[in-house]
Amino acid sequence: MALISIIEDFHPLNDAKLLYRADELKPSLHHEIVEPVGGFQLKERYSPEREEIVLQKVPKLAMGKGQNLCLDFGDHYVGYLTLEFSYTGSHPDAPAFLKLKFSEVFDELSENSDDYDGWISTSWIQEEYIHVDVLPARVTLPRRYAFRYLKITMMDTSPKYKLIVKHAELLTESSANYKRLEPFTTGDELKDRIYNVGIRTLANCMQDVFEDGPKRDQRLWMGDLRLEALANYVSFRNMNLVRRCLYLFGGSRFPDGRISANVFIKPAVEADDTWMFDYSLLFVVALEEYLQETNDEETLNDLYDIAMQQVEISLRHCDERHVVDDEAANAAFIDWREGMDKRGCAQAVLIFAMRYARRLARRKNDYSQANWLLEQLELLRKAAIEYFWDEEQKCFVSEGQTAMATQVWMVLADVLEPEKARELMENSERFLEPYKMATPYMHHYYVTALCRTGLLEKAEKHMKEYWGSMLDAGADTFWEAWDPDDPKASPYGGKVINSYCHAWSCSPVVLIKKFFTQQK
């Protein structure tokens, strides 16, 4: 279900003023050196079974052809690796040929990337083949990696010597400043674990921008940014990083003014040629939420017109009934769920975003715009009731489907009166199949909808069960896609390409702080 756009001769509309301001807001990066806390060998190359090695013995372990050494750095990190090699035996008469495999979770170590046949490029898989021509040697790899485990496999050498890994260290990198975190505990062990892993997830995605994932795609996506920003507001409070990202989205857009789904940063800022209906509207939401935290009038003045443009462009995708058209529905992301109709969701996201747009207009003292937005919003809300609400089933139906995502977004958009919305979410389990939620991104909005309708106990229970099941499965940071009932599931055609530290999964940080701190 690839949302891939390829536009030939795509030339984004770049605003030099906005991009200059984004560059001024470029963050400082924090670094520390970390070393492995443990070591082991896999019994076979792709075996899940391991034999532990006392860490002190690693600098004396001699590796011959076909043997491997796995180093455990103890937690998920993002950074640059340096390895020191020596040898035992005769003077090396041939290079050491090594394979390095970087794994975010333990299960990745035993996966064979040659078996992957999905639609995302294998070039994202964190594997390197290197030759070490002269020993002893100190080798620093130029690429940045996201991992906990490193597997070093001796692909080939000479019978005259064996390789020794004398030392390994990682120079970590993040723009998150842990010194800005205030001590925090809920008194609930599981909630505290979920919160702390959420913080780790957020921090490792905080780089030059709020990345969606430090393993893949390593760039700025709008849907991820909104949830990262919310978590950041209650933790690191790096407001300049949020502001920088908003300016980057505003500074490089589609030629017609649309906000791109994601933005490339290197070698220069450039909007991707992918437009997602819901993501472009989330720019409006993220801007207003940033202003709630900062009252930053300069940013409001710089980005207000761009935000309003997103609403106006989106409204052109509504038919005479005030229902979102096929083009917009098909261009909405919503969730990685094959076959789910997204028209109802797209309708609701538009209404949701327009409520934030009204707040922007009132903040700007643009009352004629605010009144016009209210008129349009009411037309869309009435259309949502008329064309999507099924009174007999007491739920929203989109092209015959009663998907959870449709119910959630309609609730978040305040399409229903509060009592009806609560009743809908009280019985929400009936919408789990067949179009069940596939990602922590959609699970965040589900939990938020439960909270919005006053179902805090139900919301907390779901958060604990869903994100807690990732902890049970070995998560050090929260994952891009996760189905507890199908651990091997991947939206990309194979787990080896999945991201195991992903921005949109950090949202329990804000859920716990906002809704569940006082819950018993």
Q: What is the mean pLDDT of residues 502-520?
A: 89
Of the candidates 252, 259, 249, the one whose C-alpha atom is nearest the C-alpha of residue 220 is 249
Ordered structural domains, the chain, with CATH: 33-172 (2.60.120.260)
For residue 136, name the pLDDT band (cuts at 50, 70, 90): very high
Spell out the SS3 assignment of 345-370.
HHHHHHHHHHHHHHHHHHHCCCHHHH
pLDDT per position as a tens digit, 395-419: 999 999 999 999 999 999 999 999 9
pLDDT per position as a tens digit, 429-470: 999 999 999 999 999 999 999 999 999 999 999 999 999 999
503, HSE (Cβ side, Cα atoms, 13 Å): 26
The reported pLDDT for the residue numbered 193 is 98
pLDDT per position as a tens digit, 167-193: 999 999 999 999 999 999 999 999 999
Considering all CA atoms of the chain, what is the largest pairwise distance in Å, rounded to the nearest integer?
A: 84
| pLDDT: which is higher, 154 or 46 | 154
Phi, psi of 416 (to 5 degrees): -100, 160
Contact 335, 442 (CB under 8 A): yes
447: its two tokens: 């939990």
Alpha helices, H only, 211-276: 222-233, 239-251
Q: What is the mean pLDDT of residues 480-501?
A: 95
pLDDT at 1 over 80: no
pLDDT per position as a tens digit, 68-119: 999 999 999 999 999 999 999 999 999 999 999 999 999 999 999 999 999 9
The reported pLDDT for the residue numbered 3 is 60
- Angstrom distance (rounded) from CA 151 to CA 258: 44
Contact 232, 199 (CB under 8 A): no
Q: What is the mean pLDDT of residues 333-341?
A: 95
* Torsion angle of C-alpha atoms 280, 282, 283, 289, degrees rounded to 10: 170
Contact 333, 276 (CB under 8 A): yes
Of the candidates 305, 301, 217, the one whose C-alpha atom is nearest the C-alpha of residue 263 is 217
pLDDT per position as a tens digit, 424-440: 999 999 999 999 999 99
pLDDT at 351 over 60: yes
For residue 47, name the pLDDT band (cuts at 50, 70, 90): confident
- Angstrom distance (rounded) from CA 436 to CA 404: 7
Q: How buried is residue 54: exposed, middle or buried, by Cβ count under 10 Å (0-12/13-18/19+)? A: exposed
pLDDT at 367 over 50: yes
pLDDT at 247 over 70: yes
The reported pLDDT for the residue numbered 440 is 98
Question: How much is the mean pLDDT over the chain?
Answer: 96
pLDDT at 361 over 70: yes
- Angstrom distance (rounded) from CA 285 to CA 226: 8
H helix or E strand, kind and range, residue 132: strand 127-132
Of the candidates 247, 254, 248, the one whose C-alpha atom is nearest the C-alpha of residue 275 is 254
The reported pLDDT for the residue numbered 520 is 38
Q: What is the mean pLDDT of residues 483-509?
A: 95
User: From edge to edge, which strands make up the β-sheet containing 220-221?
Assistant: 220-221, 262-264, 270-271
- Percent of all residues in the chain with a pLDDT value above 70, rounded to a whole number: 99
- Percent of all residues in the chain with a pLDDT value above 90, rounded to a whole number: 96
The reported pLDDT for the residue numbered 409 is 98
Phi, psi of 101 (to 5 degrees): -120, 120
Considering the entire predicted model, what is its pTM? Answer: 0.96
How do strand 68-89 and strand 137-140 relate by DSSP bridges? antiparallel
Cis preceding-peptide flag for 217 (omega within 30 of 0):
yes
The reported pLDDT for the residue numbered 6 is 85
The set of residues, in sequence order, having a beta carbon less than 8 Å from that of 254 and lying 6+ positions away, is 12, 13, 260, 271, 273, 275
- Angstrom distance (rounded) from CA 460 to CA 455: 9
Contact 500, 479 (CB under 8 A): yes
The reported pLDDT for the residue numbered 518 is 65
For residue 59, name the pLDDT band (cuts at 50, 70, 90): very high
How do the residues of the chain divide into helix, strand and coil, expressed in percent and rounded to 5?
A: 45, 20, 40
